[in-house]
DNA sequence: ACAAATTTAGACAGGCTTGTCCAATTCGTC
DNA sequence: GACGAATTGGACAAGCCTGTCTAAATTTGT
């Protein structure tokens, strides 16, 4: 695959397949049992390989852990940016478009397997590997928030929103649409599709009450009239 | 020592002191190292007692862990309800009163030692002890949210806020005032006083833009005029 | 000051885990 | 079908940890 005279620069197919299989199993076990409680034999069994193969591929437990975190970070970031690319820049119905976006974000990035695993590893072992997780922090949330803030700024500039500080608004948007899922996240659970939708609906409604510009805020007008 | 005619129903003074000392040290070590990585010798050393004393008091590692979680849950709940009792029911300046309340909540309940420890233990070991953490969930967040929702409902009834669903508003209030502290929480860190204040200020401003009734919303009027 | 209870330090067995080594086997490629 | 690389299973040493036991030292209440 890299460069080479003959087509053998990379090992046989199943070699790479086993590698990812091991990383996947390791992610699962590290999350369930914690770093100290994770058992290489169990990881090997769950990956369907022998223990020796784990050591052949990754050297030792710590290197394997690093590989897991790097892998999860990479995949999660890819998912997040792919989803941000679907942000409703020219909304037909701002409220329902933002709700749909929030649901996509949750389903594809936060609540899926990789997202839950990465979150738990960061929470549990973040303090033990400061530089590893500092890297994650820059590549992940730092860039995510900037990208999202830029999209909100654009919506505001187009007159769909009334925002003072787009960075603050972006963080508050995420906080609001996840407001009702916090406990589930804390316990490592997976919210149902219905819970995700309800939290997003309530969060977007409040977000638009706070930041909606007058011309598109049927919801807000109703709320004010009702008050 | 156990039963007796004379006033000795409870053990000698330092006996109980050592007990709490052990629980405190155990909380710290369980959080740093995780359940599997926590070492009884280290806990004993950090508590300033011998290993045997740990076993005398708590039986085994699992019982010690349970005692730690129960202890933290109890203290955190006490702190949270004490703080909710300071909710500004008759606000002089609604915005600054809510900011001050949010800062108190964070400082006394969420960011302090007990709060951080409990959060981390729940995140790391919640799945391993379902009934223990189900108990926490009912006693803690469940009651907290209800109590807070009741306070917000009262503010709305008095005309200070315009709220449809007080339960949703209470959860969103907490989500907003903590919006900028999420990452710090994730990594187990302790936000500075300044960060707590800024997050609370921004969160309350957005909350009032969404839920403030017209008569007390100088901030909101300014924002709208500015738009 | 005395007697009972508690604490301590250390040794200890049993179990589990990591990481290495090696011979036999399987797999992919030519 | 044959060659070479990767994989396997199992044995293995070394280390660590839990939980128990003991005898000596200390603390507590009276």
Q: What is the pLDDT of residues A133-155, one digit of tens each?
A: 998 999 889 999 999 999 999 99
Q: How far apart are CA B99 and CA A30, in angstroms?
A: 39
Q: How far apart are CA A209 and CA A224, in angstroms?
A: 9
Rounded to the nearest angstrom, the gap between the alpha carbon of residue B140 and the centroid of all alpha carbons in its chain is 8
Nearest residue to B183 via CA among A196, A116, A141, A6:
A141
Chain mean pLDDT for chain A: 89
Encoded tokens for A4: 């080479």
Nearest residue to B72 via CA among B16, B13, B132:
B132
**Of the candidates A174, A188, A206, which has its C-beta nearest B126's C-beta?**
A188
Phi and psi (nearest 5°) for B161?
A: -135, 165
Tens digit of pLDDT for each residue in B18-47? 899 999 999 999 999 999 999 999 999 999
Does B79 score more than 50 pLDDT?
Answer: yes
Q: How far apart are CA B162 and CA A226, in angstroms?
A: 9
CA distance A91 to chain B (A): 20
Cβ count near B3 (within 10 Å): 6
Rounded to the nearest angstrom, the gap between the alpha carbon of residue A201 and the centroid of all alpha carbons in its chain is 19
Does B218 score more than 70 pLDDT?
Answer: no
CATH number 3.20.20.70 is the correct assignment for the domain at A9-59: no
Q: How far apart are CA B34 and CA B42, in angstroms?
A: 13
Q: Rounded to the nearest 5 degrees, what angle is found at the Cα of B187, between the Cα atoms of A79 and B47?
A: 150
Task: Work out if B26's Cβ lies within 7 angstroms of strand D.
Answer: no
Domain ranges across chain B: 1-59, 72-226
For tokens 């930041």, the residue is A211
What 3-state DSSP class applies to B64? helix
Tens digit of pLDDT for each residue in B181-194? 999 999 989 999 99
What is the pLDDT averaged over residues B65-89? 95
Cβ count near B86 (within 10 Å): 13
Å between A11 CA and C29 C1'? Answer: 11
Mutation for testing the A interface, residue in B172, B216, B221 having most A CBs under 10 Å: B172
CATH (residue range A69-226):
1.10.357.10
What is the pLDDT averaged over residues B170-197? 95
Q: How far apart are CA A123 and CA A109, in angstroms?
A: 17
Q: Do domains B1-59 and B72-226 have the same CATH topology?
A: no
**Of the candidates A33, A180, A226, which has its C-beta nearest B36's C-beta?**
A33
Nearest residue to A147 via CA among A176, A173, A118, A121:
A173
Does B3 score more than 60 pLDDT?
Answer: no
CATH (residue range B1-59):
1.10.10.60
Q: Which residues pair with B161 in a beta bridge?
A: B212
Phi and psi (nearest 5°) for A161?
A: -135, 165
User: Residues near A125 by Cβ (< 8 Å), separated by ≥ 6?
Assistant: A34, A35, A65
- For residue A4, what pLDDT is reported? 34
CATH number 1.10.357.10 is the correct assignment for the domain at B72-226: yes
Count H helices, E strands: chain A?
12, 0
DSSP 8-state class, residue A107: I
Nearest protein residue to the C1' atom of C7, measured from CA: B53
Does A217 score more than 60 pLDDT?
Answer: no
Tens digit of pLDDT for each residue in B110-130? 999 999 999 999 999 999 999
Q: How far apart are CA B57 and CA B68, in angstroms?
A: 13
CA distance B192 to chain A (A): 17
Q: How far apart are CA B120 and CA A110, in angstroms?
A: 19
């Amino acid at each position: 695959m890299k460069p080479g005279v003959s087509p053998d620069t990379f090992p046989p197919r199943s070699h790479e397949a086993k590698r990812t299989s091991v990383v996947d199993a390791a992610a699962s076990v590290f999350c369930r049992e914690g770093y100290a409680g994770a058992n290489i034999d169990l990881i090997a069994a769950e990956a369907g390989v022998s223990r020796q193969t784990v050591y052949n591929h990754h050297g030792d437990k710590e290197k394997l852990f690093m590989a897991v975190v790097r892998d999860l970070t990479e995949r999660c970031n890819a998912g997040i940016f792919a989803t941000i690319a679907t942000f409703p820049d020219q909304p037909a119905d701002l409220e329902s478009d933002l709700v749909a976006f929030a649901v996509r974000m949750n389903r594809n990035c936060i609540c899926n397997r990789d997202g839950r695993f990465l979150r738990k590893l960061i929470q549990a072992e973040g303090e033990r590997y400061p530089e590893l997780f500092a890297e994650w922090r820059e590549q992940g949330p730092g860039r995510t928030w900037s990208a999202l803030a830029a999209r909100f700024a654009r919506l505001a500039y187009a007159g769909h929103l009334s925002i003072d500080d787009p960075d603050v608004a972006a963080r508050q948007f995420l906080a609001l649409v996840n407001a009702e899922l916090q406990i589930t996240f804390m316990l490592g659970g997976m919210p149902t599709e219905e819970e995700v939708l309800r939290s997003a609906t309530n969060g977007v409604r409040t977000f638009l009450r706070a930041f909606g510009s007058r011309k598109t805020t049927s919801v807000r007008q109703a709320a004010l009239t009702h008050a």
